[in-house]
Amino acid sequence: MTERHGQHFLQIPGPSPVPERVLRAMNKQVIDHRGPEFQLLGEEVLAGCKSVFKTSGPVVIYPSSGTGAWEAAIVNTLSPGDKVLMAETGHFSTLWRQMAAKWGLDADFMPGDWRRGADPVAIEAKLAEDRSHAIKAVMVVHNETSTGVTSRIGEIRTAIDRTGHPALLLVDTISSLGSVDYRHDEWGVDVTISCSQKGLMLPPGLGFTAISDKALAASKTNKFPRSYWDWQEMLKPNAAGFFPYTPATTLLYGLREAIAMLLEEGLDQVFERHHRLAAATRAAVRAWGLEVLCEEPSEYSPVLTAVLTPPGHDADHFRNVVLEKYNMSLGTGLNKLAGKVFRIGHLGQCNELVLMAALSGVEMGLSAAGIPHRAGGVMAAMAELESRDGTNASPLLKLAAG
């Protein structure tokens, strides 16, 4: 590979770049995970997670990937042969369905076109038809990382409530937690699944499940075997700040610092920043004459923007050109979107100047890779950012945005 100079721009939708504050916080010696110093750390991170999930209930932290948290949600709440309702929103909802099948669940996988989120109306209709209450859980991906589409979990909860159906609501927030407004308690979610390397700005290695009282009750009677993932075995030592097996201590140092950063900025301000950066990215895409994959404006992801390349042009070739010429990584198209889309991540600690540099790299890359486009995307993004700052864009920027 050719030598690259300067900062590498990691603009994939996770793992996101780790802030210097978090890196410094992790640069500590490991300590006795049965001692009083660790106990204080454990109590802090377990309490801090509740603030980010917006819950008063328990949050279990695993040394795992987000996929591990998926498995924990299944084996702690359901039983072999249970029927579950799932929505096809992209690659990761498909993987979750495959996991459900491996555990012997009967998944009703509502088809989707990967350009819209889970449909609350369709979910309500399915549950209304299920008069015998055979469906034991509704399983939805909040922010589909492969497509840049955010499902409307609050509306889905309302739809479930209208039917009076007792199904559990399980939600994947792997790419949304800490970046998109999410309310575990208020939205009546029973299990929220997440991980460390996206909005929480940590390296990979931690999985999370936030648990409702209803889900906890289900875990005491369901039939799936488990050991490593068992909530009951976790919650007993967690009550005193400890874990049943050796935890990822240095990642917990980083988690404490990441939570502090989110709360210092204010969660509402964090969410607004992500919306602002996402809107600027979409303005650039439109100015280039390209198409955002997500079709429903109310479902635009604040975390990433998936961009369709014109027919006959390979998105992966474009990504390779950008990497080689400008030292920037963009997200690849996954599954049936392979070669058709590239994904621009704007999550975690991303700010306006980082985004403008990334969009400049994309615009130069479009020219270098021979992708048909119009100039002016970066200018349009600048105008969008200025307008959202409450300032008046210059006439030149206004012209570019128009």
pTM of the model: 0.94
Bridging pattern class, strands 168-172 and 135-141:
parallel
Average pLDDT, integer, range 299-309? 98
Closest CA to 367 of 377, 356, 375, 379: 375
The pLDDT of residue 399 is above 60: no
The pLDDT of residue 396 is above 50: no
Scanning the structure block, which residue is given the tokens 């050109």? Answer: 321
Q: In 75-94, which positions are buried (b, 16+ CB within 10 angstroms) versus exposed (e)?
A: bbbbeeebbbbbbbbbbbbb
Bridging pattern class, strands 291-292 and 207-211:
unpaired
Average pLDDT, integer, range 69-96? 98
**Element of type H or E holding 149:** strand 149-150
The backbone region for 389, taken as left when phi is positive above 0, alpha when psi lies in -120 to 50, beta otherwise, is: alpha
Q: What is the pLDDT of residue 389?
A: 77
Q: Please report which residue ranges of 288-351 form alpha helices under DSSP H.
A: 315-326
8 Å CB contact between 336 and 114: yes
Average pLDDT, integer, range 181-198? 98
8 Å CB contact between 393 and 373: no
Tokens coding 377? 């995307």
Q: What is the pLDDT of residue 39?
A: 98
Average pLDDT, integer, range 147-164? 98
Full set of structural domains in the chain with CATH = 9-16+267-401 (3.90.1150.10), 31-263 (3.40.640.10)
Tokens coding 156? 């889905």
Average pLDDT, integer, range 132-151? 98
Percentage above 70 pLDDT, the chain: 96
> What does the alpha-carbon distance between residue 321 and residue 319 come to, in Å, rounded to a whole number?
5
Percentage above 90 pLDDT, the chain: 95
Average pLDDT, integer, range 205-233? 98
Known binding residues for substrate are 343
Q: How confident is the model at residue 401 (pLDDT cuts 50, 70, 90)?
A: very low
The pLDDT of residue 400 is above 60: no
Strands (E), 182-266: 191-195, 207-211
Tokens coding 41? 């750390």
CA pseudo-torsion sign 102, 336, 157, 143: positive
The backbone region for 289, taken as left when phi is positive above 0, alpha when psi lies in -120 to 50, beta otherwise, is: left
pLDDT (tens digit, 9 = 90+) per residue, 4-18?
778 899 999 999 999
Q: What is the pLDDT of residue 6?
A: 84
Contacts of 281 (CB under 8 A, 6+ apart): 305, 344, 346, 355, 359, 381
Q: What is the pLDDT of residue 3?
A: 66
Q: What is the pLDDT of residue 2?
A: 60
Contacts of 132 (CB under 8 A, 6+ apart): none
Q: What is the pLDDT of residue 397?
A: 42
Known binding residues are 343
Closest CA to 194 of 94, 308, 61, 85: 61
The pLDDT of residue 402 is above 50: no
pLDDT (tens digit, 9 = 90+) per residue, 83-121?
999 999 999 999 999 999 999 999 999 999 999 999 999
The pLDDT of residue 394 is above 60: no
> What does the alpha-carbon distance between residue 70 and residue 260 come to, in Å, rounded to a whole number?
26
Q: What is the pLDDT of residue 184?
A: 98
| Alpha-carbon distances of 5 from 250, 316, 327, rounded to whole Å | 30, 22, 8
